[in-house]
Homo-oligomer: A and B are copies of this chain.
């Protein structure tokens, strides 16, 4: 059952190199395909150096009536970006939107690289390459 006021935002670091962005677009397409019957809304965003930006996407979603956003970081680890920069960016855009009458709940999840399935897949690929 889809919730039309909820969306998920995949967040990658971003790069000025368009070739770096390609796998993320591919991933987004794959995820949307697998979720197509659920009605869940998933968008892509970049923290810096590429468009669409995270804050731009949050503003777009807010304007379209979204009230709950799950930000899912496609990062290997949580460093300064995910512990400081991204939360600060989220708080700033949340405050701006609140002053315009849009109250948004935004949940920043832990990076995908810390999930056991992903860490295990990385290990398996490395072990295959090393052997």
Q: Give chain A's interface residues, CB within 8 Å of chain B.
A: 8, 10, 12, 15-17, 19-24, 26-27, 30-31, 34-35, 38, 40, 42, 70, 72, 74, 76-80, 83, 109, 112-115, 117-127, 129-131
Q: In the assembled complex, which residues on chain B have CB atoms less than 8 Å from the CB atom of A10?
A: 126
Q: In the assembled complex, which residues on chain B have CB atoms less than 8 Å from the CB atom of A22?
A: 77
Of the residues B8, B23, B79, B119, contact of A129 by C-beta under 8 Å: B8
Question: How many subunits of this chain does the assembly comprise?
Answer: 2
Q: CA A40 – CA B38 in complex, angstroms? A: 45
> How far apart are A37's CB and chain B's nearest CB, in angstroms?
11
Q: In the assembled complex, which residues on chain B have CB atoms less than 8 Å from the CB atom of A118?
A: 118, 121-122, 125
Q: In the assembled complex, which residues on chain B have CB atoms less than 8 Å from the CB atom of A120?
A: 121
Q: CA A32 – CA B92 in complex, angstroms? A: 43
